[in-house]
Structure 1
């Protein structure tokens, strides 16, 4: 059998896999038995629970019936009534859970008659108590019910004891299964690890060391060291095949390196034979050798032609350099003349721009004068309106002054009447004697007030007279002011029209100056463009001169290169 690397690795991992499979199978079987044991223990717990529940129901039946029989209250029957219907289903559930245990079935066969008898006795107690009342107490105290419960308890205790013993046995079995499973898993895992380590060591020694040697050879080849030899250990697996392939590759590279050294020494007569049609590097090297041989031959022929052509180019470029120098001198003179014209046009453009700016400022000033004249006219109109309003107010004030005069006359008449009334009151008070003294004092006060009213009326009349005189004078002055304002308004309108005409003329002059400035600017731009073009031509002429000189130098260099190229290709043997 041929042991390849894949066979060795597969065998090692197969052994470890078999061991892990055995361990897994044993672990699965142990786990399955543990699950079965756990289910059995759970069943035992259910049996114990149902037995306890059954015994608890029987005790409720006993306590409820006995309490009711002794006391006679219906409330004591509640435990009895709640448990009496659950006893039979409880017995069936216990028999169902223990149907795989013959001993329990036998005990249940003995227990069922006792349970029925105890239930019947409880019913007799309840019915007798209901029928005879307290006379049923001697029947209850016979002890029959207690004896039945003791017998029932004995059977239930036997069932409970058997289940607890069975629970202990199952727990011990589960513990033993767990210990066995643990031992098998630990031992199997350690064995598998030991075998895996052993197989890994053998495989590493059999595969890694040869691969390390091949890696060292590959690293030497990577840095360009082809003076390597691979020992042939006679292996027939993949590592041996890889070593033989490395040896063949090394020999091919050594052959190509020898051919490259021969080509580097100038001998192009060598030839490279590819190892196969798929040998990309060999085929490329062979094509490179053939192509290089053909290119060198063409290069030799081209060098001959290049030498002759370079001599002719040197002569032509010398003439071109002389012509370019003459053209550059003429362009330089033309550029100087265009620059002078450009400066003259720039000065004219600046003057035109100043004139345009002055005209614009004059237009702005005339526009401001027009607006001021319009403002003066509007102000005079507002003054005239105010004067009209003042005149109207003065007229109303004169009318009100006359109304106040009428009121003053009325107040004066009232004062006279009050004085007469005071005199009459004083006369009547004197007639009344002592009884009219108070009335006389009032009459005296009224007389005093009448005198004060007359005096105040006289003062108001004097002030009103002054106001009427001042109002008349103000009315006359307002009338005269309105006439003057109207004349000023007409003069302002005439001045505004004149300023408007002046503003229109100045605006037309500003537009003309602006057009002149724009034309001058356009002329300056055109001259600048001509100057730029001439400057570009001058720069191009200078560059042409430099290019011609460079071309002359390049031609001379090309001539020298052709000569050196002839000397270089002579050493190749084609």
Structure 2
């Protein structure tokens, strides 16, 4: 199995660990998701309920002050300012504080709108008209707040900048309209002010999930190892058994469950298999040896029978052939007698021809001896010429060296003449005659140098010709040596021809004597052939009877040999199968 495949394959331990972690993950994740969803829904309902109750409380408060206005207890402005102060706080520098005694979230507060979008009460924007305010998604949320209030109350979701920050947060607002003044009283709060509890719930769920995974993973790892380790040992031992290794079953399984029972059964199977293989090895070896001995005996018997059959058949054929040959020999003996007489005549003619051949061979041998002597003289002459050419080469080399010396002298003379010309020029008119002499010496030196160069070229050409002559002489030496060697071989061949011719003459003489003896013996042979013919006929009849019996025996031995081969094959297969195991 490839290494990567072995690493990534799902073992029992990995499967148990994966299933257990999934069983932990799914319920905890589902429970966490449901809990988070329920808490989110409850929180949302709580937010809506809180905002709605707060707005209705504010409506009731405004209604109370409307009635106070109607009863003349206070003016409309006083009543409205009183409501604004109770919902938010007293106005200072155009702003109102957020009433901390009213719980609308960490950053929630009341604000009051006129139906035209003017803020009648607000912590920081009081008096401004925000009817055209849009959320990032393009919604006119102020118009929606007024519309929901006029329809009996409703919730509006929109984005609004966070307090003391440029970031925007999701805000939920509940609005209703007062019956008398026509105010739109709204209470708004940021969703993030109420989401802290949900965040804590989500963190608790995630921590619980991680703890369950870690603890469950550790427990299931130990449990999976408790199950997988014995199975791994069993698998390793099974692989050893598959390769034929039955030397030892080291399981070391201490489980007292079904795996322990499997290990015990596996060990019992190992003991039984070892006993079976041990007996099979012993029996297969004995059976193989016996099959080999039987096969060898059958082969030897079959070979002997075949040899007998072949001998009998050969004898029968020989008898028939001998019988025919004897009849033919009787006829041929008469012809042989006439032939022997012709041999005698021919032998005498051959003797005469051999004698003439011997004479010609002796003459040829003498010519070879003369040629050998002449080639020896040629060899001496060629060697002398080679020595002369070598001496010419040495002398031409010496001449070349002399020419080189002359060239060097001419160069020195030329240099001295040049120096003399320079000194004469320095001497002026007094050295003019010396300058003329120096000029003539320089010309003579140049002509001497040119002559030396021409002679050097001729010497080089002569040396090249001498070298070619030397090469040709060496080649001639080799060819002369080869010619001498060929003539020597030819002389040796003529010597052998002479010896052979003398032997032929002697053999022809002996053949003539033998031919006369053969003529006398031919009559005795003719009488013996008739007796041999009668005995051959009887031997042929006996050979045919023996051949029939031998063929039957060979057929029986072939059947026995086939059975022996089958037995030997089964013994070999059994032995090979048994030897696959190592005890």
TM-score norm. by structure 1 comes to: 0.33
Where is the strand percentage greater, Structure 1 or Structure 2?
2
Name which structure has the greater RCO, CA cutoff 8 Å, separation 6+.
Answer: 1
